[in-house]
Chain A
Amino acid sequence: MTDLVSLTGIRKNFLGVHALKGVDFNLKAGEVHALVGENGAGKSTLMRVLAGEIAPTSGTITLDGEVTQLSGPRDATSRGISVIHQELALAPDLTVAENIFLGRLPGVVNHAALRKAASAILNRLGFDIDPGAEAGTLTVAHQQVVEIAKALSNNARVIVFDEPTAVLANSDAERLLAIIRELRAAGAGVVYISHRLNEVFDLSDRITIMKDGSHVETVETAATDVDTVIARMVGRQMSALFPPKEGRAPGDVVVDVRNINRGRKVRNVSFTVRAGEVVGLGGLVGSGRTEVARLIFGADRMDSGAIELHGKPLRLSSPRDAVRARIGLVPESRKEQGVILEAPIRVNTTLAKIRSVTRMGFLNVGKERRIANALGADMRLKASSVEAPVSSLSGGNQQKVALAKWFHADCELLILDEPTRGVDVGAKSEIYNLINDLAKAGKAVLVISSEHQELFGICDRILVMAEGAIVGELDEDAFTEHELLTLAMTQSARDRDEASQ
């Protein structure tokens, strides 16, 4: 039997970065083929190639035994390939029916006929959704159903689900999985990308594991187990980039976070960070780590819970309150939130404590320049001068500027969200050194990172998050990717919810 889809030797380079390094992947009719791997392993990129959204640098795409070149998403759709993205792509102001048939709407729309056709498909899926409702008013689960209906109306035979259950409540997820089983029974090929390995084992016929843009292996689901799959996903080693942790002396508790909640993103999170301690916040992207950081920094309001700093309750209504309490945050998106790109380095370094260089509101630029120069020297900042705009710096040096701001503000607690993303190896090592220096100076440091080796290299202990909750804590002797991923990918909050019921 020929494969519905066969991708062979797919390579994709983005500006010199090898996102895909010659990946093979095939999909048969009537199977659910799971695609697993860590963040950045290349799963989504591979599926974007299949969906015609990006053209591969090299490699061939074979559909029904025929070598094909996809000219774009429309071409892929017309060949029966549909991708249901994690971020739903419905037009919120259009009706459900219009969304289902979007792209194929006639010039003059017969709304009655359109709704009837939409109803037929939705009923087939077993959902009672009003085809006349605006898509934006539906729950996320129902929006997902509309996406599936859209795929079915396209007579899709290849349907890719990119983390479909990540945002779904338990019962909705169950129904979605039921739909996927029906699609399989009807002879469609389903690609299922998920971090929830329990679901993957429940649902799939075969599993393909990817790592660092490469295909690791494809196995029959029945012939493997969760442990083996995780073992295949990990194993990337980083060289000796990390400074020795000796000389850190964890002292009193600086920040005590108790049962903080915010929507579905942060659930009952509690932990402490001591002075002179580097605590990691691990887990997968979207597990709520950034949201926790923003709550502690006052950038978002929490629904409930309490935060204490040095034993005193902290009332945070804005980042200003946090900065006054000497908490700093180096945010995950450096260019949007961390630095002012067009402003000079000098201006960026004093931004969190501009009072230190003003007198009666007037700036003392000379003093500011001395401060910036001193910080730049300490941090081994590579720049023509402190008057150079931050945009002229490399990613690593930009990040050093974002850090310098909080060094100058002299924080008691510094939260670093993906501190080395987009930073070259040399600068990474220097940033690790700076973090180590902070801890040695008795500061409390909370580091969020998706690079597990990085957490292992710099942290004293690691809290692992999944679906908004802390699902486990690793001490230094348990620092292995296997342990971390097992927690992050199998201890989902949903499972625990079920257990408690």
Chain B
Amino acid sequence: MSNISASAATPSFTPRLVEAVRQYGTLGIFLVLVIVASFWSDAFLTERNLMNVVRQVASGAGIMAVGMLFVVLTRGIDLSVGSIAAVGSVLCAYLVAVQGYSVPVTILLVILAGSACGMVTGFFVAYMRLPSFVISLAMMAIARGISLIISAGRPITMGSPGASLVDFGSGFFLGIPQPAILMLIIFAIGGVVLTYTSFGRLVTAIGSNEEAVRLSGVPVERYVLSVYVISGALAAIAGIVAASRTGIGTPQVGVGAELDVIAAVVIGGASLMGGRGGMFNTLLGALILGIITNIMNLAGVPGYHQNVYLGLIIILAMLIQFVTARSRR
């Protein structure tokens, strides 16, 4: 009797385990990482250090990861986010310090510029059916070039006209760095859009089976275009945040950031084959990445070595995904 029930339970147990790993795996890794780190280094679990981590994540991969998740859900990829962040950073400083625009107008214009970059990528991907990898790679070069042209290759100091931005970048609200709060708000909005709106529903569906969605009468191209616009806009916002932290807009912002952003999304369990991924897990993915970098800094791992470990961690995350995806079949 017990034999029979045991053998009957086995086939349903494995998928459930896989499902659990898929759903809570990222959270598990996050918690384990926090616990290990706090035992390992006294410096880790201090308020100052933790706030530093979230601020770094906010002005690094965090905000961009929200846009990247939408892109990845459609089965695309956006390699241009780091470069668009650089455009955002220098354009922000340029408009405030050189052109004398007010801060709100500047923010609006910078977001529009980022959206425009995303729209170009999105147009070629959605309407010309060109591979997002190549088009966003081209946009990566173009946007980086634009940021160098605007700044003439030199950092632009915002100075007193940008004081309110600097206040935002270095300030705290209820003891939490304001950029981190902005990031959490963006993640929250992203999560709501993804889970509770038809836009999020259709973006996910397109990634699962684009042809079936098209044959259901959905204007697939528009949705694909929009995710690149969102990604570009959020990258520009990330650029503004980066500028606000230091008060300087520099074309060096976001070099290699696309790697961190994609890593955050993948560690968060999203599938690069589209159709699967969650906003909360992506936030955890970005935080995990930030914590690992922080631990390596605390441990004094040299910057060059950090890149190697980062790459290995991405491979590990992909491996976990691969194994769970395969055992679900």
Residue from the set B198, B199, B208 with the largest chain A CB neighbour count within 10 Å:
B198
Residues of B with C-beta under 8 A to A297: 215
Q: Any chain A CB within 8 A of the CB of B213?
A: yes
| B209–A341 CB distance below 8 A | yes
Besides A339-B209, A340-B275, A351-B216, 16 other A-B contacts (C-beta < 8 A): A297-B215, A299-B215, A320-B218, A323-B217, A337-B215, A339-B212, A341-B208, A341-B209, A342-B276, A343-B204, A343-B205, A351-B218, A357-B198, A362-B197, A363-B201, A409-B217
In A349-377, the 8 Å CB interface with B consists of 351-352, 354-355, 357-358, 361-363
- Interface magnitude class on chain B: 20 to 34
Residue from the set A320, A323, A331, A409 with the largest chain B CB neighbour count within 10 Å:
A320
Interface residues, chain A, CB within 8 Å of chain B? 297, 299, 318-320, 322-324, 329, 331, 336-343, 347, 351-352, 354-355, 357-358, 361-363, 405, 409
Least Cβ–Cβ distance between A338 and chain B, in angstroms: 6
Complex A-B: 30 CB contacts under 8 Å: A299-B214, A318-B219, A319-B214, A319-B216, A319-B217, A320-B218, A323-B217, A331-B215, A337-B209, A337-B212, A337-B215, A338-B215, A339-B212, A340-B205, A340-B209, A340-B212, A340-B275, A343-B208, A347-B201, A347-B205, A351-B213, A352-B216, A354-B201, A354-B202, A354-B218, A355-B198, A361-B197, A363-B196, A363-B197, A405-B216
Top-3 shortest CB links A-B = A323-B217, A352-B216, A351-B216
Residues of A with C-beta under 8 A to B204: 343
Q: Which residue of A lies closest to B206 (CB)?
A: A340
| B212–A358 CB distance below 8 A | no
| A362–B211 CB distance below 8 A | no
| A361–B199 CB distance below 8 A | yes
* Given the contacts A336-B212, A341-B209, A342-B275, A358 and B198 also touching, CB distance less than 8 Å: yes
* Given the contacts A318-B219, A329-B215, A351 and B196 also touching, CB distance less than 8 Å: no
| B196–A324 CB distance below 8 A | no
| B196–A362 CB distance below 8 A | yes
| A-B residue pair count with CB separations less than 8 angstroms | 72
Please, how many angstroms separate the alpha-carbon atoms of A329 and B212 in the complex? 11
Interface residues, chain B, CB within 8 Å of chain A? 196-199, 201-202, 204-205, 208-209, 211-219, 275-276
Least Cβ–Cβ distance between B294 and chain A, in angstroms: 36
Residues of B with C-beta under 8 A to A409: 217
Residues of B with C-beta under 8 A to A357: 198
| B219–A363 CB distance below 8 A | no
Residues of B with C-beta under 8 A to A358: 197-198
Please, how many angstroms separate the alpha-carbon atoms of A340 and B208 in the complex? 7
Please, how many angstroms separate the alpha-carbon atoms of A297 and B198 in the complex? 23
Least Cβ–Cβ distance between A116 and chain B, in angstroms: 41
* Given the contacts A320-B217, A320-B218, A342-B275, A363 and B212 also touching, CB distance less than 8 Å: no
Q: Which residue of B lies closest to A357 (CB)?
A: B198
Please, how many angstroms separate the alpha-carbon atoms of A342 and B276 in the complex? 9
Please, how many angstroms separate the alpha-carbon atoms of A355 and B216 in the complex? 13
Q: Which residue of B lies closest to A364 (CB)?
A: B196
| B209–A352 CB distance below 8 A | no
Residues of B with C-beta under 8 A to A319: 214-217
| A324–B217 CB distance below 8 A | yes
Residues of B with C-beta under 8 A to A354: 198, 201-202, 218
Least Cβ–Cβ distance between A330 and chain B, in angstroms: 9
Please, how many angstroms separate the alpha-carbon atoms of A362 and B194 in the complex? 10
Residues of A with C-beta under 8 A to B276: 342
Please, how many angstroms separate the alpha-carbon atoms of A352 and B212 in the complex? 10
Residues of B with C-beta under 8 A to A299: 214-215
| B208–A323 CB distance below 8 A | no
| A352–B217 CB distance below 8 A | yes
| B209–A336 CB distance below 8 A | yes
Residues of A with C-beta under 8 A to B217: 319-320, 322-324, 352, 409
Q: Which residue of B lies closest to A299 (CB)?
A: B215
Please, how many angstroms separate the alpha-carbon atoms of A299 and B216 in the complex? 10
Please, how many angstroms separate the alpha-carbon atoms of A354 and B220 in the complex? 14
| A361–B198 CB distance below 8 A | yes
Residues of B with C-beta under 8 A to A338: 212, 215
Residues of A with C-beta under 8 A to B202: 354
| A336–B205 CB distance below 8 A | no
| B216–A323 CB distance below 8 A | yes
Residues of B with C-beta under 8 A to A347: 201, 205
Q: Which residue of A lies closest to B271 (CB)?
A: A342
Least Cβ–Cβ distance between A148 and chain B, in angstroms: 35
Residues of B with C-beta under 8 A to A343: 204-205, 208
Residues of A with C-beta under 8 A to B215: 297, 299, 319, 329, 331, 337-338
| A336–B201 CB distance below 8 A | no
Q: Which residue of B lies closest to A360 (CB)?
A: B197
Please, how many angstroms separate the alpha-carbon atoms of A362 and B219 in the complex? 18
| B197–A336 CB distance below 8 A | no
Please, how many angstroms separate the alpha-carbon atoms of A297 and B196 in the complex? 30
Least Cβ–Cβ distance between A177 and chain B, in angstroms: 38
Residues of B with C-beta under 8 A to A341: 208-209
Please, how many angstroms separate the alpha-carbon atoms of A371 and B214 in the complex? 22
Which of B201, B205, B211, B219 is close to A320, meaning CB atoms less than 8 Å apart?
Answer: B219
Q: Which residue of B lies closest to A342 (CB)?
A: B208
Residues of B with C-beta under 8 A to A318: 214, 219
Least Cβ–Cβ distance between B90 and chain A, in angstroms: 34
Residues of A with C-beta under 8 A to B199: 361
Residues of A with C-beta under 8 A to B196: 362-363
Residues of A with C-beta under 8 A to B216: 319, 323, 351-352, 405
Please, how many angstroms separate the alpha-carbon atoms of A323 and B276 in the complex? 27
Please, how many angstroms separate the alpha-carbon atoms of A362 and B201 in the complex? 10
Q: Which residue of A lies closest to B214 (CB)?
A: A319
Residues of A with C-beta under 8 A to B197: 358, 361-363
